[in-house]
Amino acid sequence: MNSARVLPDTLEAFAAEAMRRYGLREDDARLSAHILVMTDTWGVHTHGTRQLRSLLKNFSIGRLDATATSEIVREGPAWALVDGHHSVPFVTAHRAMQLAIAKAKTAGIGYVGVVHTSHFGAAGYYAVMAAEQHMIGIAMCNADPQMSVPGSRGKVLGTNPIAYAIPAGKNSPIFLDIATSAAAANKIIRARLLGQSIPAGWLVDAEGRPTTDPSGFPETGALMPMAAHKGYGFALLVETLAGVVTGAALTREQPSWVPNVLGNPPGPANQGQAFIAIDAAMMTTTDAFDERMTWLGNYIHAAPRAEGAERIYLPGEIEWEKREKALAEGMILPPDVVDSLQGLAQDAGIDMLPFEMDVAG
Ligand SMILES: NC(=O)c1ccc[n+]([C@@H]2O[C@H](COP(=O)([O-])OP(=O)(O)OC[C@H]3O[C@@H](n4cnc5c(N)ncnc54)[C@H](O)[C@@H]3O)[C@@H](O)[C@H]2O)c1
């Protein structure tokens, strides 16, 4: 396996072409490619184009429907419930956050829950959509169980990611985008593929004992929640807002979005997702909000640094800097991403990957 250098636009064109070959509509293919490549430019390669190959297989076997479109099934002034109808999940999530933003423009806040949908990639993309409209955005989804809870053995809850984004005045939008597990499952699977050990505190083995060896996962063992009971508590909030409220499959009823996972419940993924937008400027003023967020960001940046620390970052800052560099110089895709894209090219019948191969990572 080798690294490769690629320009974001080139990767986007490749991803969109692969999706067209799986029957996705032009606009859906382009938007989905944009979401995945944005994630790659942030350096979040676990949840960017690497996942496209597995996701597209769902269309071939009827677990997702490239001709379907999501639909609002019930709504009020500040909320809506959307049925994804197993359509392209990135597009459904994008439309749901657009709707939450529209509701917040009139009501000050908007909640949109989605049912009958699948993997939406990095939660952060959708939260950032709200920040780009000068709103606070929150995005989350429930997922099939991968994580233990304090006192349990084995998998009980999903890694249920949650992201928020906040316009930050003179600083770039703040965004925190995290799994509620100590680490995303993909990071462990990636370490396993690369033959690497993982940090302590990420995984328990089949007996519920902490381990740094990822080789048994996901067949046995379970992820650990981030910060013990604290991550567990947030995963439960996500399960409620994204799963219970929407009517999506909960915990062990949830089939993985990855096809053919051993021991998985049958049928397509029925994930629940929740998108919240808050127009904070309505409660204060745009100027006051920007001024106070700028102050807060600057205050944190200027905090006395710990010995050996070079910088203090705001959440999202690392990703914005990586994106700026990727847009200017291209980005280096790690070997496992290249491997997955090569497989995708083969599946989709695309002859060549337009990448500069064998670049040192
Ligand atoms: N769709 C799904 O089912 C699913 C499930 C799990 C995770 N995910 C995605 O996986 C991705 C990775 O999740 P993760 O838990 O591994 O994230 P992570 O632990 O790498 O944390 C990333 C977040 O922490 C912030 N951060 C990192 N270092 C920082 C520092 N020094 N100062 C300030 N902020 C800092 C980053 O800006 C970013 O917002 C996310 O995009 C998440 O949405 C998706």
Q: What is the pLDDT of residue 355?
A: 83
Cα–Cα separations (whole angstroms), residue 211 to 24, 191, 204, 208, 320: 41, 13, 5, 9, 33
Q: Ligand 1: which residue has its CA nearest to atom 35?
A: 315
Give residue 351's pLDDT band: very low, low, confident or very high (50, 70, 90): confident
In angstroms, the CA 112 to CA 55 distance is 23
Mean pLDDT of 23-52: 97
Report the pLDDT value the prediction gives residue 3, as an integer from 0 to 100: 92
| pLDDT of res. 28 | 98
Question: Would the pLDDT of 162 be above 90?
Answer: yes
pLDDT score at 284: 95
Ligand 1 contacts CB of residue 355 (under 6 A): no
| Residue 11 exposure: Cα atoms within 13 Å on the Cβ side | 30
* Cα-to-centroid distance, 352 and ligand 1 (Å): 32
3-state SS string for the chain: CCCEEECHHHHHHHHHHHHHHCCCCHHHHHHHHHHHHHHHHCCCHHHCHHHHHHHHHHHHCCCCCCCCCCEEEEEECCEEEEECCCCCHHHHHHHHHHHHHHHHHHHCEEEEEEEEECCCCCCHHHHHHHHHCCCEEEEEECCCCCECCCCCCCCCECCCCEEEEEEECCEEEEEEEECCECCCHHHHHHHHHCCCCCCCCCEECCCCCEECCHHHCCCCCEECECCCHHHHHHHHHHHHHHHHCCCCCCHHHCCCCCCCCCCCCCCCCCEEEEEEEECHHHHCCHHHHHHHHHHHHHHHHCCCCCCCCCCCCCCCHHHHHHHHHHHHHCEEECHHHHHHHHHHHHHHCCCCCCCEECCCC
Return the residue whose CA atom lies nearest to atom 1 of ligand 1.
Answer: 121
Ligand 1 centroid – CA 177 distance (Å)? 4
C-beta atoms surrounding 354 within 10 Å = 13
Grade residue 173 by pLDDT with cuts at 50, 70 and 90. very high
Per-residue pLDDT for 359 more than 80? no
Q: Would the CB of 187 count as within 6 Å of ligand 1?
A: yes
CA 47 to ligand 1 centroid distance, Å: 10
Class of domain 71-193+224-283: alpha beta
Residue 354, pLDDT > 70, answer yes
Closest CA to 173 of 140, 139, 134, 138: 134
- For ligand 1, whether the C-beta of 313 sits within 6 Å is yes
Per-residue pLDDT of 278-335, as tens digits, reads: 999 999 999 999 999 999 999 999 999 999 999 999 999 999 999 999 999 999 999 9
Residue nearest to atom 33 of ligand 1 (CA): 315
Say yes or no: CB of residue 238 within 6 Å of ligand 1: no
Give 179 Cα–ligand 1 centroid separation in angstroms.
Answer: 6
- Residue among 37, 178, 257 whose CB has most ligand 1 atoms within 8 A, to mutate: 178
Q: Which atom of ligand 1 is nearest to the CA of 163?
A: 43
Centre of ligand 1 to C-alpha 133, Å, is: 22
Domains of the chain by residue range = 71-193+224-283
Question: How confident is the model over 101-154, as pLDDT tens digits?
Answer: 999 999 999 999 999 999 999 999 999 999 999 999 999 999 999 999 999 999
351: exposed, middle or buried (Cβ count in 10 Å: 0-12, 13-18, 19+):
exposed
pLDDT of residue 191: 92
Predicted pLDDT of residue 6: 96
**Res. 361: pLDDT tops 70:** no
Q: How far is the CA of 44 from the centre of ligand 1 (A)?
A: 8
pLDDT confidence bin for 210, thresholds 50/70/90: very high
Least confident residue range of 116-130, 182-196, 208-222 = 182-196
pLDDT at 17 over 90: yes
Pocket of ligand 1 contains residue 235 by CB under 6 Å: no
Q: How many CB atoms lie within 10 A of CB 282?
A: 16
175 lines ligand 1 (CB under 6 A): yes
The share of the chain scoring above pLDDT 70, in percent, equals: 99
Flag whether pLDDT at 340 surpasses 80: yes
Distance (Å) from CA 351 to ligand 1 centroid: 34
**Ligand 1 midpoint to CA 10 (Å):** 25
Q: Is 141 in the pocket of ligand 1 (CB under 6 A)?
A: yes
Say what the pLDDT of residue 260 is: 82
The whole-chain average pLDDT of the chain stands at 95
pLDDT band at 352 (very low <50, low <70, confident <90, very high): confident
Q: Which of 46, 33, 19, 59 is nearest to 259 (CA)?
A: 59
315 lines ligand 1 (CB under 6 A): yes
Average pLDDT over every residue of 50-77: 97
For residue 354, say if its preceding peptide bond is cis, omega within 30 degrees of 0: no
pLDDT of residue 1 exceeding 70, the answer is: no
